[in-house]
Amino acid sequence: MTIHTVRTSYAPQGKNYMLEINPKWVDGSPDDELNQIDARWIDMLSGVFIDITAVRRKRKQAGILFCKDRHRYREADLFPLRDSIFEGRPVKIPYNYAELLQEEYGRVSLTRTRFAGHTFNSTSMEWQKNPKKPP
């Protein structure tokens, strides 16, 4: 486990994240159902996390990548990676991110602008907490 402190304009004092790597990440077999997640990026304040799974080449199928959780991807859907911003930091995202998100979470994943007490601001491209309603 490694702790990373990330400073942003909205958290100038920094937020702590833990990067936890599964020691079995090198085993690409989908048979061990308890070890399908290769790593986890964890917000240490809220406990919210992002699961990270490594993609591997499928030896018998050119252009196909797979994860231990049995997801399969075309290399052309992932590469070349695109530049984006996540929490004020530059990141790389899959080339065909829109189609991949719709396949995994449905069309609403790209059109819903209100969720869990937040509204997506299309100008700033950020989820913003809704103001509390007066009593």
What pairs with residue 15 in β-bridges?
6
Confidence at residue 130, expressed as pLDDT on a 0 to 100 scale:
93
Mean pLDDT of 49-68: 90
Q: Indicate the residue type of 91.
A: V
Paired tokens of 33: 């159902």
Alpha helices by DSSP H, listed for the chain, are: 75-78, 97-105
pLDDT of res. 51: 93
Arithmetic mean of pLDDT, 120-128: 85
* Element holding 120 (H helix, E strand): strand 118-121
Across 82-90, average pLDDT: 85
Rounded CA Rg of the chain: 18
Widest CA span in the chain? 62
Residue 64 has pLDDT above 90, yes or no: yes
Q: Give the containing element (helix H, strand E) for 34.
A: none
In residues, how long is the chain?
A: 135
Q: Which pTM does this prediction carry?
A: 0.68
